[in-house]
Amino acid sequence: MKTNTWRECLGYAVYYAPRGRRRLLMIGETIAQRYLTATDQLIGIIGEAGTGKSSIVRGMFPGLELTNDDEGINVRPLPLIRMYHDGKYTSRTFHIDVRFEMAFTQLYEIADAIRAALAQKRRIVVEHFDAVYPALNINAQFLLGIGEDIILSRPNLFGPFPEDIRQAIDNTAIYRKMAHSAEDLTALVLEKEFGVEPPGSHSDVPRGFVIEFDTKPEGLDLALLEQKVKEIIEKAVDISYLDSSHIRIGEDTYGCTGPRLHIKNSSEIRNFRLLKELAYDEITGYYCLVGLVAEPKKVPFVQRHPDQPHPKRVSTTLDL
């Protein structure tokens, strides 16, 4: 029996899509350890620009040279295309951003280069795999889509296909961007208006964010905090990338580990709200400030949305 049979039985898995470079790298590492095998040759990555695809790829494949990274360092000519023309493959693993490479190379030639590398038992990590699939007509052995969530799948002959993954994540990344911008606005107000320096610990909830405190901030008025953040939202303040670790919020410079994953203006944040009590996690000992945006996300019945009240504990007796 194959030792990786359980992987072949994977329909799909869904993770929260985190924000911030460190968390994206960590989840990329986790995905590689849990779902990839040494024999996987074709890995397809699907998602909009600025959703963290490159960081996840770096976490999955440490040391892999990306041909078009977030800092604008572009590898030209593309190693995969160059080696395809030379007929010699001196690398084991290749990366290609199809959308970027289409500015220089015809789609059919990209598909031919991928086919030739596969025939030489090379591994190819393809960003925007859905763009090349119609010309390639070979489905990936492992598909990853990133939008509001991260969707993972190991397709078989009957799918899922790249278009299925793309449709599932299409236009969903906006919720991550809204939550991320609302999180940084909240942290900025905490620091400037309340003198509370936000800690480095953060977590995620559906369409929202969690700021975690080691000790309970005394006297923190969450209703007033929510009001002040809403005032900034209503002022339609610009939010822009500054450098790899900072954003600009209006005239303020603020540290951020995911500076590209933001909306462009605070007015794009919809239905911002804070839970009016800090949630206490008895296991970690954290006091959690929870913020939400947009309309509540439909989640499986086993998970209660933060907007919903906790059910009362009741005793139940069964008559057998």
- pLDDT tens digit sequence for 234-256: 999 999 999 888 999 999 899 88
In the structure encoding, which two tokens stand for residue 124, read together?
């190819």
- Whether the pLDDT of residue 4 is over 50: the answer is yes
pLDDT of residue 304: 56
The total of other beta-carbon atoms located within 10 Å of residue 279's CB is: 14
Q: Which amino acid is at 238?
A: D
- Whether the pLDDT of residue 8 is over 70: the answer is no
In the structure encoding, which two tokens stand for residue 265, read together?
């203006």
Peptide bond into 155 cis (omega under 30): no
What are the φ/ψ torsions at residue 37 (nearest 5 degrees)? Answer: -120, 165
In the structure encoding, which two tokens stand for residue 120, read together?
């030489």
pLDDT of residue 319: 35
Sign of CA dihedral 117, 119, 121, 125: positive
Distance CA 275, CA 290 (A): 6
What are the structural domains of the chain? 5-170 (3.40.50), 174-292 (3.30.980.10)
pLDDT of residue 19: 80
Identify the helix (H) or strand (E) that includes residue 309: none
pLDDT of residue 65: 84
C-alpha separations of 89 from 40, 111, 113 in Å: 17, 16, 11
- Whether the pLDDT of residue 113 is over 90: the answer is yes
**Global pTM value:** 0.82
